[in-house]
Amino acid sequence: MTTTPTPAWNRQRPSGMPSHRYSDAYARVEVPLADVERRWPNRRITTAPLWVPVDLRDGNQALAEPMDPARKRRFFELMVRMGYTEIEVGYPSASQTDYDFVRLIADSDLAPDDVTIVVFTPARRDLIERTVAAIRGIRNEVVIHMYTATAPVWRTTVLEKDRDELRDLILAGGRDVWELAGHLPNVRFEFSPEVFNLTEPDYVIEVCDAITKLWQASPERPVILNLPATVEIATPNVYADQIEFMHTHLAHRDGVILSVHPHNDRGTGIACAELAVLAGAQRVEGCIFGNGERTGNVDIATLALNLHAQGIDPMIDFSDIDDIRRTVEYCNRIDVHPRHPYVGDLVHTAFSGTHQDAIKKGFAEHRARAAAEGRDQREIAWRVPYLPIDPADIGRSYDAVIRVNSQSGKGGIAYLLETEYGIVLPRRLQIDFSRHVQRHTDTTGEEVTADAIWSLFTEVYMSDPQHSSIGLEAVHIDEGNATTEVIVRVDDQVQRSTHAGLGPVEAAVCALAGCGIDLAILSLHQSSLTTGADAEAVTLIEYRDADGPAWVAGRDRSTLAATLQAVARAADRVSAHRRVTAAVL
């Protein structure tokens, strides 16, 4: 393989790793590259393929502790509830547990009538016989899935057969399947040339065409040809080229359901599956959340929700994804990673300040647009930045969308106070308070909860100087004559004054001025505190002190009392040298 020279701006050095020991895909298998036939790059996915979960067979084989019957049943029932209508349930010739589970389906009503049961077998007569015995009496449609590895290394090293000998072995297995189950009207057939992606294209075509002819593939009784990327070895476009070659060159194509089964050795299983669907695949085998040998099978939950995020019905119900996750984790005894697409605990969570600010503004726009259109927020188009889908679509709340740590900014802090406590912080107060939160998180190095943010807010803006000396009381308000009577207490002195033509706040400021306390109020904002059984009023006041603009807040069941409390607190802070006893009604 020719190495492209490294540009001068790239100062990476050779790693010293023995990469020369490995060959790229093009050196290992012939890859169809006829550009005139490559149509998949111009296609779009417009409908969901048939999803076939293989958690109970392929996924189960990859578990350190395979599922017991109770876990298998619970997992199967979950998949039925979600809407899967074709489920691979086991490898009945491999273990008594798998055999017994298939017999449970045969002897009970565990599987609804519209669910097709898939069972797995190698191309060996005694194992095929055991498999057919397991499905006997099942009323549902059944697929017998036969497999054999076909790639050159597997042929020579594992099976010790040449191309002709292996083809004969596969066809012998196919004849056994046909002999034992071909007469059963509810049974169809599937063949997987395992390690398809490393098998010569002409050989795969030869074997697949022979097996579909043997099994009399037709539109009325289609044969599934499943083409696994058993071990990922190339970029996803190579797999797409291989699938499109099969799609366009198979005989009996109208009697074939073209299926794919990508693994995830390169971390591109999802991309391989999506491109394979563009290339002609109609059916995708995988595991919910991707459990499987090595780095896993393709994650069919992510694939389905990728369609949902593009406006395409995935045909599977993920509206309670946390319940799905709990069940899968219980059955597999494997935790789902917090950053796993869609289902992870942190996938809808923003810690970054810029992300939080954009999400906060996106939510505000979403609410405003719903109100303007007179529609429910769940009905209108979703376009909140950084959130590809509405968390509510999959049963998630918005509680964890924004969480605050040392990387967070004013938007996230304001969002938490608004959603948890109902307080809408003006932008300038957001900026001021974020500095206090930043100092706190820098000191502790920890994430802060909404409750901790509220505690810090009250400490910063609702605490009084150590020796507070100012109290305000509006004892009489005559709205008809537009007069307000105010009592100011400064230290032990009480002064009563009446102010014509002024509201309570202006009257309080004038009364303070009469006591020698000059207070300049720059802005005033009021909201309701939604925590607790009884809502309280909160007044936010921006005032000017010796260092410039500053903020205080007041809180009380009465809006007027909360406002006068905030005014008195501001006055106290500009006169912090005086001894204060606040008496705000």
370-427 pLDDT, tens digit each: 999 999 999 999 999 989 999 999 998 876 665 555 455 667 777 778 878 888 888 8
The average pLDDT across 116-123 equals 98
Q: What local confidence, expressed as pLDDT, does residue 484 receive?
A: 80
More confident of the two residues 433 and 479: 433
Q: Which of 100, 220, 235, 207 lies closest to 146 in space, CA to CA?
A: 207
Sheet containing strand 50-53, edge to edge, reads 50-53, 283-286, 256-262, 223-229, 187-194, 142-149, 116-122, 86-90
Q: What local confidence, expressed as pLDDT, does residue 578 receive?
A: 43
pLDDT in tens, 172-216: 999 999 999 999 999 999 999 999 999 999 999 999 999 999 999
- Contact predicate 582/470, CB 8 Å: yes
Q: What local confidence, expressed as pLDDT, does residue 430 receive?
A: 85
H-run or E-run covering 425: none
**Alpha carbon separation from 526 to 538, 560, 561 (Å, rounded):** 6, 10, 12
CB hemisphere CA count around 509 (13 angstroms): 14
Q: Which of 295, 305, 224, 222 lies closest to 260 in space, CA to CA?
A: 224
Any idea which of 102-111, 423-432, 438-447 has the lowest mean pLDDT? Answer: 438-447
Residue 130 has pLDDT above 80, yes or no: yes
Residues 6+ positions from 424 with CB-CB distance below 8 Å = 414, 418, 525, 527
**DSSP tag of 85:** -
Q: What local confidence, expressed as pLDDT, does residue 585 receive?
A: 30
Residue 141 has pLDDT above 70, yes or no: yes
More confident of the two residues 578 and 77: 77
Q: What local confidence, expressed as pLDDT, does residue 407 receive?
A: 59
The amino acid that residue 314 corresponds to is P
pLDDT in tens, 342-367: 999 888 887 777 787 888 889 899 99
What gap in Å lies between CA 287 and CA 63, rounded to an integer? 13
Coil, helix or strand for 523? strand
Q: What local confidence, expressed as pLDDT, does residue 468 receive?
A: 58
Q: What local confidence, expressed as pLDDT, does residue 577 receive?
A: 42
- Contact predicate 412/353, CB 8 Å: yes
**DSSP tag of 92:** T
Any idea which of 48-52, 233-237, 310-314, 522-526 has the lowest mean pLDDT? Answer: 522-526
Residues 6+ positions from 56 with CB-CB distance below 8 Å = 67, 72, 75, 76, 87, 88, 89, 90, 101
pLDDT in tens, 56-71: 999 999 999 999 999 9
What gap in Å lies between CA 217 and CA 387, rounded to an integer? 45
Query: Would the CA dihedral through 179, 180, 184, 188 be positive or negative?
Result: negative
Any idea which of 21-25, 154-158, 571-575 has the lowest mean pLDDT? Answer: 571-575
Q: Which of 260, 184, 254, 249 lies closest to 225 in space, CA to CA?
A: 260
Q: How many CB atoms neighbour CB 332 within 10 A?
A: 24
Binned at pLDDT 50, 70 and 90, residue 584 comes out as very low
What's the predicted TM-score (pTM) here?
A: 0.78
Q: What local confidence, expressed as pLDDT, does residue 482 receive?
A: 67
pLDDT in tens, 493-524: 788 888 887 888 888 888 888 888 889 998 89
Average confidence score pLDDT of the chain: 89
Token duo for residue 354: 């810029």
What is the greatest pairwise CA distance in the chain? 109
Q: Judging by beta carbons within 10 Å of its beta carbon (0-12, 13-18, 19+), is residue 1 exposed, middle or buried? A: exposed
